[in-house]
């Protein structure tokens, strides 16, 4: 590993995705524990000491409403001080309108952490919420969602008979995930379809290889990166060795439907594609301790080969870091569709009562300083799937990448 900055070792790159597999919100940047005094926990009394930034805040209205609820609400058995406090905290956090910043109650946080170690079952899709709209970031490869025809950018209008707009991301995931063999009905809105339509998806075990390889014709080597997880770096290094042993003349890196993962792994992988000491990514934050420039320090074993990178709307976060750096340095030709546009960094703050805060702490920029958040990367050549190509199951984006590399060989 090349990273020395302690923050980077802690963080994961947020997909916020998902994982409707069994995972609740897949890759959130590592965690740190905040020392919150035990007497400051909800339901255990009011803390009299307030932070300095709180001095000009008048909470008279808050307490007036609290008293009205406690005094007059018809179903007094529903008035739980702790749940009301957690609800107020959620409202405060949600007022930021940031889908990547959120508060989890102890129960929710426990379910999230437990699901990270569970066998992955569900529909196999990555989700986000944008402007209160629940969207598909991407279906995972070979997943039930992909088999059902789910596409990046699809809007989930209904989950079963319930409106998706009535749920936050955590609640939506809870509704959609489930054990293998069970079914879930999703009503979708798609930009090229006039009316909402329903798909029935049978949940299943999700098996996702981090990196897969294939030797194509004309000495072209395909490396498909499906996620940036614990095993991705070692698998990518093995793929690099395979490409060299195969005497590959060019490499295609497929990042389509890859919603992201670990930041440090992404930087290490760039070390095989860029020369040592080149900027991989820039991180900007309100706090100087978080702001930094991360550089490559690998063996650059693929730095001499022409590279084509495939991206689409499902390419997010760490995928965009990798593709953006290669594009900035002219080291790769990007083919496909506009990427997702996830350009922020999160961490998880754990509290002694078991609750946690998922918090956006920084933005990341490409080596040339491009901010792709909510915009995405524009490929060097846009290639969109036609209805005919979809019907024929023809990968026209991959075909174009092969054509591009062949042309480079002739130069």
**Structure-derived torsion over alpha carbons of residues 170, 175, 179, 182, reported in degrees to the nearest 10:** -160
Q: Write down the domain spans for the chain.
A: 211-343+362-409
**Integer Cα distance of 318 and 270 in angstroms:** 11
What pLDDT, on a 0 to 100 scale, did the predictor assign at position 321?
97
Identified catalytic residue from 317, 319, 327, 356: 317
Catalytic residue status for 205: no
Assess whether 342 carries a catalytic annotation. Answer: yes
pLDDT for the residue numbered 44: 43
- 211-343+362-409: what CATH class? alpha beta
pLDDT in tens, 100-156: 899 999 988 887 765 554 557 889 888 888 888 999 988 888 899 999 999 988 999
The length of the chain, given as a count of residues: 411
Active-site pick, 346, 355, 356, 397: 346
The catalytic residue among 210, 339, 342, 355 is 342
pLDDT in tens, the chain (411 residues): 333 333 343 344 333 333 333 232 233 333 333 434 444 444 444 444 566 666 678 889 999 999 999 999 999 999 999 999 999 999 999 999 898 899 999 988 887 765 554 557 889 888 888 888 999 988 888 899 999 999 988 999 999 999 999 988 878 988 998 899 999 999 999 988 989 999 999 999 887 788 999 999 999 999 999 989 889 999 999 999 999 999 999 999 999 989 888 889 999 999 999 999 999 999 999 988 889 999 999 999 999 999 999 999 989 999 999 999 999 999 999 999 999 999 998 888 999 999 999 999 999 999 999 999 999 999 999 999 888 888 888 999 999 999 999 999 986
224 is catalytic: no
Q: Is the dihedral of CA 361, 367, 370, 376 positive or negative?
A: negative
């Amino acid at each position: 590993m090349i990273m020395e900055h302690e923050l980077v070792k802690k963080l994961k790159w947020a997909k916020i995705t998902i994982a409707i597999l069994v995972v609740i919100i897949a890759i959130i940047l590592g965690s740190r524990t905040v020392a919150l005094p035990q007497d400051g926990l909800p339901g255990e009394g009011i803390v009299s000491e307030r932070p300095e930034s709180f001095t000009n805040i008048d909470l008279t209205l808050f307490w007036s409403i609290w008293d009205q609820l406690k005094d007059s609400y018809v179903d007094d058995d529903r008035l739980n001080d702790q749940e009301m406090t957690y609800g107020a905290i959620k409202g405060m956090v949600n007022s930021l309108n940031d889908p990547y910043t959120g508060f989890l109650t102890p129960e929710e946080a426990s379910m999230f952490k437990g699901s990270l170690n569970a066998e992955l079952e569900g529909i196999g899709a990555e989700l986000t919420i944008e402007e209160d709209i629940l969207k598909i970031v991407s279906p995972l490869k070979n997943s039930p969602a992909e088999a059902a025809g789910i596409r990046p950018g699809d809007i989930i209008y209904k989950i079963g008979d319930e409106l998706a707009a009535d749920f936050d991301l955590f609640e939506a995931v809870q509704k959609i995930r489930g054990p293998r063999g069970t079914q879930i009905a999703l009503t979708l809105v798609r930009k090229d379809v006039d009316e909402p339509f329903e798909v029935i998806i049978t949940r299943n075990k999700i098996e996702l290889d981090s990196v897969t390889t294939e030797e194509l014709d004309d000495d072209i080597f395909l490396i498909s990166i499906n996620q940036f997880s614990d095993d991705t770096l070692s698998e990518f290094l093995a793929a690099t060795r395979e490409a060299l042993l195969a005497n590959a003349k060019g490499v295609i890196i497929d990042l389509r439907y890859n919603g992201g993962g670990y930041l440090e792994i992404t930087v290490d992988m760039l070390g095989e594609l860029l020369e040592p000491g080149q900027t991989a990514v820039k991180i900007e934050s309100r706090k100087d301790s978080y702001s930094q420039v991360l550089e490559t320090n690998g063996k650059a074993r693929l730095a001499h080969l022409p590279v084509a990178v495939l991206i689409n709307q499902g390419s997010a976060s760490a995928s965009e870091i990798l593709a953006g750096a290669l594009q900035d340095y002219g080291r790769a030709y990007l083919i496909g569709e506009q990427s997702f546009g996830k350009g922020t960094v999160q961490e998880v703050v754990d509290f002694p009562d078991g609750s946690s805060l998922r918090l956006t702490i920084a933005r990341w920029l490409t080596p040339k300083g491009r901010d792709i958040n909510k915009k995405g990367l524009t490929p060097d050549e846009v290639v969109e799937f036609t209805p005919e190509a979809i019907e024929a199951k023809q990968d026209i984006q991959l075909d174009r990448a092969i054509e591009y590399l062949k042309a480079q060989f002739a130069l």
